[in-house]
Amino acid sequence: MPQGAVAAQIRQTADPQACPTIFPPGFSGFDYLRDFPGTQSGRTQSCQGGIGHNSWYGDGQVNALSAVTH
């Protein structure tokens, strides 16, 4: 199977993940400007998008069993 087809299969069979309703553990201590120098936007980071695709989880959590059985 070509590399692009494998990547597409993994994306299409991923378990969708919605934007988090609470911050992950340790996120409150996360300093975007300190931890990622050169990204000086100063903007508060937030999840954007829906359950099918969003800025935190992309296409969702990989489901390896589903990827190889579908």
**Residues contacting residue 61 through CB under 8 Å, at least 6 positions apart:** 14, 15, 17
CA 67 to CA 60: how far, in whole Å? 13
Q: Mean pLDDT of all residues in the chain?
A: 80
Picking from 63, 48, 70, 64, the residue whose alpha carbon sits closest to that of residue 16 is 63
CA 63 to CA 21: how far, in whole Å? 22
Tell me the domain boundaries of the chain.
Answer: 1-70
Whether the CB-CB separation of 14 and 59 falls below 8 Å is answered with yes
Phi/psi of residue 62, nearest 5 degrees: -60, 135
Q: Convert the pLDDT of each residue in 4-62 to its tens digit.
A: 999 999 999 999 999 888 776 666 555 555 555 555 555 666 788 999 899 889 999 99
